[in-house]
Structure 1
Amino acid sequence: MSVLLLTHRDALAHDMGPGHPECPDRLRAVLTALEAEEFADLQRDTPEEATVEQITRVHPAEYVEAILGIRPPVGETVALDGDTLMSAGSARAALLAAGAAVRAVDEVCAGRVQRVFSAMRPPGHHAERRRPMGFCFFSNAVVAARHAQAVHGIERVAIADFDVHHGNGTQDCVWTDPTILFASSQQMPLYPGTGAESEVGVGNVFNAPLPPGARGDVFRAAWAERLLPAIDAFAPGLVIVSAGFDAHARDPLAQLRLTDPDFAWITEQLCALADRHAGGRLVSLLEGGYDLEALASSAAAHVRALLGG
């Protein structure tokens, strides 16, 4: 199975300060895990920055301009909300993360690879159309989806999100767009407070809230009984995955009890749907995961499944 890993060292320059859970060491942990011999078949490359045009398919131009205009001096940060800050390297890192999502779409749509894992930061699924939040600045998954539609003629795109926190930003960006399906499992109650089953958009949003303490059997049932059938019926031409690993039992920011095999299972299921409907085209974007050991092992399980192992 041809799988491309996209990453860039400048993603490490986004630093929200000492003690912040969304830290550069998260990316280092993932990349170290993917240096193992079993991942020797991964193709590897670096992305370029997304263009303003690509991002403004999702976010208003004035919002994009405001975010990119925040360039604090080295060693200082600017707080956008209580937990989302920008450092000297944040704007470039955000552009590279969105650019990796765009490049991933280009690669799978051109048939050069079947699947891509973007190991980048900052994450994106909490960024609403006009508001950064939850460590996120741009909605990378929706930027990717709109690029696939605008440039490659993909009519229907499915975004599947298994991060423990609800992707309120993704949901906000696609709320009125029937050509993009959003399927998400998340702990509830938990930040950001959205993700109820009653939130349905224009019939394109499917949420499966999970109670604190839920284990893998509950998670798998939610996907098998509600979310995967919704994606299957939608028959997308591209599957985009918001791959957050903070539903792991070791994660300090939530209380779900998933383990590495659960992340491998959902990856296998999503790959099967991509094979069935999208010619195998699947793009995976790193989102959350805040216990470094759990993040590394979960991401490795995810990529192992992408490779077909």
Structure 2
Amino acid sequence: MSVLFSTHAAYLEHLAGPRHPERPERLQAVLSGIRRHASADALIPLEPIAAARTDLERVHPKAYLDRIEHICDAGGGRLDPDTYASPGTWRAAALAAGAGLTAAEALRRGEGDAAFCAVRPPGHHANQTESMGFCLISNVAVLAASLADQGERVLILDYDAHHGNGTQDVFYHDPRVLFVSLHQWPLYPGTGRHSEVGAGTAEGFTMNVPLPPGTTGDVYLRAFDELISPRVDAFQPTWLLISAGFDAHRFDPITELGLTSGDYIALTKRALEWVPAGRRIVMLEGGYDLDALAWCAAGVVSVLAGEDPEPVDFTEQETSGGPGHRQLDAISAFWHDRQFG
């Protein structure tokens, strides 16, 4: 199977300041890991095209986009306590948002079986009118909104350690999109309780699985099998978009979950069962340990290519034995007691 691999040198021009965890070296680590550990024969380079304003405005109002572009043109600055813009940020952000759109069009033309978009800045914390959590434009939401407007039923799986509050906000009232997030709780941004399920006609189309520090891969896989898969089967998605944050890895310096690259491989394999080849796009979100980023990205790309990759070494096999089962019991009971459309 072939994988469209999308990235761009302009992403390195987004600068968040010295010692900031969301730094250009993250992207370089992803590229290095894929070169070392993934099959080059399966990869097809794909040049991203910057998202047009009409695409961005499906999610973000014009005034918000104008403000970010103006700040970048004026030399950059702080957008919130931990989110920054530099002169190169606007172009990087427009290309990052456009990468998924470009990939979807290429997949529709039959140019590959899946796509991996190695982008920055990340996007899943940005809501319609606020930059936060290192994110400026909601990359996966821009893609999902475009697909939904074309009549598709879109599943967004977010396995970043932080809750994708921005993505959730965009689609909280939209039954065309099923948003599923597994994340550490408590942790920034403080959203993502299991009782947050969507509203109005979209009640039941948001599924949050908040898990305690130290949670291991066996809990994630159980959540997939017992909780998430039945909801996905009922939704019958036509596209799968993965917000691939690799900061649930046990080595990540700003989170406390217990996953390994082997767990990310296993989770991605399960997720690919939900939609056919040609309708699968993975977009990079967080992850701040450079080795873990390299290992996890390479493993996910290999899975997209239909391979059965081995983790880098035995310490990266799937994990088990951590906390989280009791929390998952409570979440499963919550969903079992409710009937959603």
TM, length-normalised to structure 2: 0.86
Residues 1:179 and 2:176 aligned together:
yes
Shift of 1:73: 5.9
Q: Is the 8 A contact 2:152 2:176 kept in 1?
A: yes
Instruction: Write the letter of the residue equivalent to 1:164.
Output: A
The Cα RMSD (Å) is 1.3
Instruction: Write the letter of the residue equivalent to 2:141.
Output: V
Instruction: Write the letter of the residue equivalent to 2:258.
Output: R
Distance in 2 of aligned mates of 1:37 and 1:78: 37
Instruction: Write the letter of the residue equivalent to 2:86.
Output: S
Shift of 1:112: 1.8
Distance in 1 of aligned mates of 2:45 and 2:270: 24
What do residues 226-273 of structure 1 show as CA deviations (whole Å, max 9, x unaligned)? 123222221111111000000000001110000011100111111111
Q: Note closer, same or farther for the CA distance 1:59–1:73 as it changes in structure 2 (3 Å cut).
A: closer
Distance in 1 of aligned mates of 2:73 and 2:53: 20
Partner-residue secondary structure (3-state), 2:275: helix
Report the counterpart of residue 69 of structure 2 in structure 1: 68
Distance in 1 of aligned mates of 2:228 and 2:37: 34
Report the counterpart of residue 306 of structure 2 in structure 1: 308
Distance in 2 of aligned mates of 1:154 and 1:32: 37
Shift of 1:166: 0.2
Distance in 2 of aligned mates of 1:100 and 1:210: 30
Distance in 2 of aligned mates of 1:38 and 1:18: 31
Shift of 1:223: 2.1
Shift of 1:72: 5.4
Say which is worse superposed, 57-66 or 10-19, in terms of deviation: 57-66
Residues 1:229 and 2:230 aligned together:
yes
TM, length-normalised to structure 1: 0.95
Report the counterpart of residue 20 of structure 2 in structure 1: 20
Residues 1:198 and 2:195 aligned together:
yes
Instruction: Write the letter of the residue equivalent to 2:188.
Output: Y
Distance in 2 of aligned mates of 1:118 and 1:308: 17
Distance in 2 of aligned mates of 1:112 and 1:148: 18
Partner-residue secondary structure (3-state), 2:35: coil
Q: Which runs of 5+ in 1 are unaligned?
A: none
Q: Note closer, same or farther for the CA distance 1:221–1:293 as it changes in structure 2 (3 Å cut).
A: same
Q: Is the 8 A contact 1:208 1:226 kept in 2?
A: no
Which residues of 2 match residues 1-309 of structure 1 at below 5 A? 1-36=1-36, 38-41=38-41, 42-71=43-72, 77-150=76-149, 153-201=150-198, 202-275=203-276, 280-309=278-307
Q: Note closer, same or farther for the CA distance 1:229–1:81 as it changes in structure 2 (3 Å cut).
A: same
Distance in 1 of aligned mates of 2:46 and 2:30: 15
Shift of 1:207: 0.5
Q: Percent identity of the aligned residues?
A: 47
What do residues 75-132 of structure 1 show as CA deviations (whole Å, max 9, x unaligned)? xx40111100001111110000001011111122222212000001001100001111
Q: Is the 8 A contact 1:157 1:237 kept in 2?
A: yes
Instruction: Write the letter of the residue equivalent to 1:183.
Output: V
Instruction: Write the letter of the residue equivalent to 1:300.
Output: A
Q: Is the 8 A contact 1:4 1:113 kept in 2?
A: yes
Distance in 2 of aligned mates of 1:262 and 1:148: 29
Q: Which runs of 5+ in 2 are unaligned?
A: 308-341
Distance in 2 of aligned mates of 1:232 and 1:261: 25
Distance in 2 of aligned mates of 1:232 and 1:87: 43
Q: Is the 8 A contact 2:113 2:278 kept in 1?
A: yes
Partner-residue secondary structure (3-state), 1:36: helix
Shift of 1:206: 0.4
Instruction: Write the letter of the residue equivalent to 1:142.
Output: A
What do residues 21-75 of structure 1 show as CA deviations (whole Å, max 9, x unaligned)? 000000000011112374212001221211000010111111111112212566x
Q: Note closer, same or farther for the CA distance 1:87–1:227 as it changes in structure 2 (3 Å cut).
A: same
Instruction: Write the letter of the residue equivalent to 1:115.
Output: A
Distance in 1 of aligned mates of 2:59 and 2:169: 10
Instruction: Write the letter of the residue equivalent to 1:135.
Output: F
Partner-residue secondary structure (3-state), 1:69: helix
Distance in 2 of aligned mates of 1:142 and 1:227: 20
Instruction: Write the letter of the residue equivalent to 2:33.
Output: A
Partner-residue secondary structure (3-state), 1:96: helix
Say which is worse superposed, 36-45 or 213-222, in terms of deviation: 36-45
Q: Which structure: larger Rg?
A: 2
Instruction: Write the letter of the residue equivalent to 1:145.
Output: A
Instruction: Write the letter of the residue equivalent to 1:84.
Output: T
Q: Is the 8 A contact 2:112 2:278 kept in 1?
A: no
